[in-house]
Structure 1
């Protein structure tokens, strides 16, 4: 097994940073003017959602709610309408709670410390580290799916990345440069997003000469391993999640509470439809009015 201890760390740092500066995509929040709130918002919105879908929504939110305290005062129904079809709408309500805590306990300033960020509602380990690194330039390891894939191939010589672990944070921390640590981190992410993809474009990779997987002859996993990896990906078609999304569409687009008849037409399976509807109520994403109709939370 190759590890990060056996590679030329400075060379890797230089190659990744130089590649990123020449090849990075232009993304609306990747500017020096983006506030820590804008960075936090971009990270929450981008979870399991393509950047192209997030960008226009992010711009709308930053225009409407440019800071945590402005957003903290928003109505829940407005928050859910603005979230649109980004998926997992509970994230929008958790972000709303997060903004309220930032406003109440941190004087409206997004914390810069990882532990303080982790104490905020809806902020997990990845998001806390990403905000600390990309908003404040702190030297903290940030590992997402793309980074995990790059490091697995580069340092371990394996095609498929394993599940997240504490060890990989330490391995990445050992690779971080004293200067430009955040640029190096986002460079690894971009490399995984554009080049070291599930179907890698090794001829375009700046690390091809240092990659343990390439050096080992690009060994591929067995068919069974590939199938197992594919099975872990959550299906969407026909799931309760799809039905919840269809019901949320009805509620978001309505100017007033809707009858159950308006919801019944979105899905043929009555039992699944009912299960999805009342799970939305339990998650406080919808509510039933006194006359038996349904609406976004007031």
Structure 2
């Protein structure tokens, strides 16, 4: 859940999931539709399907316990090198190098004198992170936790709290006069993109208790009134989500492309002329 999503958005959903599905087997027993619906607005809903697939793998092949072995973690659906290292370190106290955006930023400023790390992880950054890692297992875990928290809470990207920094006097970036970054960070675009249309379609499917006509997802406001008559008294939440989808200035080919992408990714199911969340 924390991949590409801040803690403040994840925390309430994470708590709901743990209350509802306290073990991997509990999550594995849920349908993909239940899982995607419970994912809510966390974004990148394919992660929900990967988490469901990982829970199924853990329940069936790992005795319903998340494996401690790093190689076995990497074999789970949706788990890459960063997540495998993070789970090994923070859940099981093992000696692995964790390199996320916050840690990379602290390393860039404190040791390299740069305002920001490279746009994408480089071999040099990985080598630096490995070199900085304490040898002792307990110290290495504390190091990962401390540097990550320092980056998340103090050494932030846009407004670092340098006066509160415990290593202010050792910071190479401060010593260099706080040079400007080599590039201006840009967030991922949203308005007008296929991602926005996909997100609006997913909101409709999540809030609809029953399958809905595919055409309702593919039309704009101009064609909505006539098509909406085909639905039998939709719930207000479904209607609200449809209104938001219809209001998007997306041409027909973009709406079709977005819907087909959802079907291809397993996030939507089409049966004849109707669409729903995956079964």
* TM band (smaller chain): 0.7 to 0.9
- CA shift, 1:171, in A, is 2.5
User: Is residue 2:73 matched to residue 1:117?
Assistant: yes
User: Is residue 2:265 matched to residue 1:295?
Assistant: no
Choose from 122, 133, 137 the match for 1:176: 133
User: Is residue 2:121 matched to residue 1:164?
Assistant: yes
More divergent stretch after superposition (88-97 vs 259-268): 259-268
Instruction: Give unpaired runs (5+ residues) of structure 1.
Output: 1-44
User: Is residue 2:186 matched to residue 1:205?
Assistant: no
Q: Pairwise mapping of residues 202-281 of structure 1 onto structure 2 (< 5 A)?
A: 202-221=162-181, 225-227=182-184, 229-230=185-186, 233-263=187-217, 264-265=219-220, 266=245, 267-268=248-249, 269-281=251-263
Paired residue secondary structure (1:242):
helix
Instruction: Give unpaired runs (5+ residues) of structure 2.
Output: 221-244
Match of 1:106 in 2: 62
More divergent stretch after superposition (84-93 vs 194-203): 194-203
- CA shift, 1:166, in A, is 4.0
Match of 2:154 in 1: 195
CA change 1:54–1:175 in 2 (3 A) is same
Match of 1:97 in 2: 53
Choose from 101, 105, 108 the match for 1:152: 108
Cα separation, 1, equivalents of 2:106 and 2:89: 19
* RMSD (CA atoms): 1.5
Deviations 1:237-295 (A, max 9, x none): 111001000000000101110013432341342221111011100111001113x1110
Match of 2:144 in 1: 185
Cα separation, 2, equivalents of 1:150 and 1:236: 28
What TM-score results when the alignment is normalised by the length of structure 1?
0.79
What TM-score results when the alignment is normalised by the length of structure 2?
0.84
Paired residue secondary structure (1:294):
strand
Aligned residue pairs total 247
Kept in 2: contact 1:133–1:140 (CA 8 A) = yes
Task: Give 4+ residue runs of structure 1 displaced > 4 Å after superposition.
Answer: none
Cα separation, 2, equivalents of 1:141 and 1:166: 13
Kept in 2: contact 1:142–1:169 (CA 8 A) = no
Match of 1:29 in 2: none
Q: Pairwise mapping of residues 20-169 of structure 1 onto structure 2 (< 5 A)?
A: 45-162=1-118, 163-169=120-126
Cα separation, 1, equivalents of 2:215 and 2:130: 55
Match of 1:38 in 2: none
Deviations 1:120-148 (A, max 9, x none): 11001110000000000111111100100
